[in-house]
Amino acid sequence: MKNAIQKIHLCSALVITSYLVMYFFSGFVLVHEDLFPNKDPEKTVVTEKLSYDGVDTPEAWSAYIQDKFNIHGKRQPVRELKDGSLRINFFHPGYGTEALVAPDRQSVQITTTAGHFRYLMVGFHRTHVYGAGPLYDFWCFLYDLASASCIVFALTGILIWYTARQRDPWGWPCLLSGFGLTLMMCLYFMYMP
Amino acid sequence: MRKVLGKLHMYLGLFCASYLIVFGLTSLNFNHHFAFFEPNNDKVTWEKSITVADNADDLKLAESIRDALGLMGWAPPWRYRHDEQNSFSFDIYRPAKTYAVKVNPERTRVQVEETRLGFMAAYKSLHAVERIPNSILVKVWPVYTEVCMFFVLFAVASGIYFWARSRESKLLGWILLLGGSGGSILFMLFIWLRG
């Protein structure tokens, strides 16, 4: 039994190691933004003519613009602005593209933003939610796998220690202090004014 | 050396187990929006007399009212409202609770609608809670998450070291490491450069 648990602990770690490190490191970058230089992202702006005669829905426009101008990235929800223009955003870690379709739908202004290291890390950390095509769905699947593996590491690690707890009695204070702190924070948020 | 690393791996792992579960569950929730993470909506209304100086700066006014009420949380400017009688309303946000605050034109009496979001809302906020105005205790949590972050990096390195030093066959391990983690790195590069 213990061997099987150890195998699960090890194998899940070997599979998901780099993804997990990326999440924890990019989380560190998010929290400690001041440690990482904030260079202005590089922007390029181009204006192109349009001749679209397809379905006039925000989703159709988004797909058309992405396809026609070979824009990479995950499609974001389209916003119709007060003047009638459409703002369509595409995002992938390190890059952002905004397409502003004119109210008469005859032209589009495309602004591409290429960010630096911090922008890339934040992008990696915050790319989630299924439904943006197979590539990003696979990204989300790995994200889920890394998240689930955190739970697996914790539970299998506790089980491995528990089977030999007589040899390592200091495990109790370590385990209880972590869970105790978590519970205390929850109660603090719930009951303190 | 190996024994010391093993003990560190185990004890720090036990200490960080709770955060790994918090991180795992809340991260899964970003993709799947579990029903059990849905916040409660228990509302309680209360009133209190306060003494605050009226201030033309809404931000300072909101913060002084929040401080006079002894509440912790953020009072974001986009939630400030003045009505015709010059009553001032704003909201306070913090993990597990929100407050809709309305102060009378004389700035002496406050009516508060408190929404209690429940245990799971508090639990969800632990994914990345940092600083909260008027809260001292919350500063403990970022220290814990930081320890856990460094532990994960250490656990990966020490775990691979233990595996490399073990006498068992390594074929399956190499397949998993290169296929899973190596493949993940290539996929990240692909997403970055061509995604």
Number of domains in chain A: 2
Nearest to B28 among A19, A22, A147 (CB): A147
Q: Are residues A86 and A27 in the same domain?
A: no
Residue A131 domain-assigned (yes or no): no
Q: Are residues A62 and A28 in the same domain?
A: no
- Chain A residues in contact with B188 by the CB 8 A cut-off are 18-19, 22, 93, 124
Tell me the sheet residues that pair with B98. Answer: B93, B115
Cβ-proximal residues to A108 (8 Å cutoff; 6+ apart), any chain:
A47, A48, A50, A65, A69, A99, A100, A101, A102
Residue A126 domain-assigned (yes or no): no
pLDDT at A175 over 90: yes
Kindly report the nearest CA distance between residue A54 and chain B, in angstroms: 26
Instruction: Provide the pLDDT for residue A107.
Output: 93
| pLDDT, one tens digit for every residue, chain B (195 residues) | 888 999 999 999 999 999 999 999 999 999 999 999 999 999 999 999 998 887 889 999 999 999 999 999 999 999 999 999 989 999 999 999 999 999 999 899 999 999 999 999 999 999 988 889 999 889 999 999 999 999 999 999 999 999 988 887 888 889 999 998 899 999 999 998 887
B152-184 residues labelled b (16+ CB within 10 A) or e (exposed): bebbbebbbeebeeeeeeeeebeebbeebbeeb
Question: Are B153 and A154 an interchain contact pair (Cβ–Cβ within 8 Å)?
Answer: no
Q: Are residues A59 and A107 in the same domain?
A: yes
Query: Radius of gyration of chain B from Cα atoms?
Result: 24
Question: Are B97 and A144 an interchain contact pair (Cβ–Cβ within 8 Å)?
Answer: no
Predicted ipTM?
0.91
CATH of the domain at A79: 3.30.160
Residue A21 domain-assigned (yes or no): yes
Mutate to test the interface with B, among A32, A116, A140, A185 (most CBs of B within 10 A): A185
Determine how many CB atoms are found less than 10 A away from the CB of residue A128: 18
Kindly report the nearest CA distance between residue B176 and chain A, in angstroms: 5
- Chain B residues in contact with A8 by the CB 8 A cut-off are none
pLDDT at A38 over 80: no
Greater pLDDT, A168 or B11: B11
Q: Are residues A48 and A23 in the same domain?
A: no
Q: Which of A60, A81, A115 is the last residue of a domain?
A: A115
DSSP state of B35: G
- Chain B residues in contact with A171 by the CB 8 A cut-off are 10-11, 14
Question: Are B160 and A157 an interchain contact pair (Cβ–Cβ within 8 Å)?
Answer: no
Q: Are residues A51 and A29 in the same domain?
A: no
Question: Are B152 and A94 an interchain contact pair (Cβ–Cβ within 8 Å)?
Answer: no
pLDDT band at residue A143 under the 50/70/90 scheme: very high
Residue A53 domain-assigned (yes or no): yes
Question: Are A178 and B173 an interchain contact pair (Cβ–Cβ within 8 Å)?
Answer: no
Question: Are A17 and B160 an interchain contact pair (Cβ–Cβ within 8 Å)?
Answer: yes
Instruction: Provide the pLDDT for residue B190.
Output: 92
Instruction: Provide the pLDDT for residue B41.
Output: 92
Q: Strand, coil or helix: what is B159?
A: helix
Residue A57 domain-assigned (yes or no): yes
Residue A177 domain-assigned (yes or no): yes
Residue A127 domain-assigned (yes or no): no
Reported pTM: 0.88
Q: Are residues A73 and A51 in the same domain?
A: yes
Structure tokens at A178: 């972590």
Question: Are B153 and A148 an interchain contact pair (Cβ–Cβ within 8 Å)?
Answer: no
Instruction: Give me the domain span that covers residue A68.
Output: 42-115
Instruction: Provide the pLDDT for residue A164.
Output: 84
Structure tokens at B101: 């605050």
Residue A176 domain-assigned (yes or no): yes
Q: Are residues A26 and A47 in the same domain?
A: no
**CA–CA distance, B135 with A189 (Å, rounded to integer):** 10
Q: Which of A115, A150, A170 is the last residue of a domain?
A: A115
Q: Are residues A53 and A88 in the same domain?
A: yes
Question: Are A147 and B25 an interchain contact pair (Cβ–Cβ within 8 Å)?
Answer: yes
**CA–CA distance, B11 with B7 (Å, rounded to integer):** 6
**Which has the closest alpha carbon to B106: B60, B153, B50?**
B50
Residue B79 CA: distances (Å) to CA of A7, A149, B9, B100: 52, 39, 47, 10
The mean predicted confidence, pLDDT, of chain A is 91
Per-residue pLDDT reduced to its tens digit, A57-101: 888 999 999 999 999 888 888 999 999 999 999 988 888 999 999
Greater pLDDT, B186 or A128: B186
Q: Are residues A31 and A47 in the same domain?
A: no
Please report the sign of the dihedral spanned by the C-alpha atoms of residue A149, residue A151, residue A152, residue A153.
positive
Q: Are residues A100 and A147 in the same domain?
A: no
Q: Are residues A147 and A110 in the same domain?
A: no
Please report the sign of the dihedral spanned by the C-alpha atoms of residue A129, residue A130, residue A132, residue A134.
positive
Q: Are residues A145 and A181 in the same domain?
A: yes
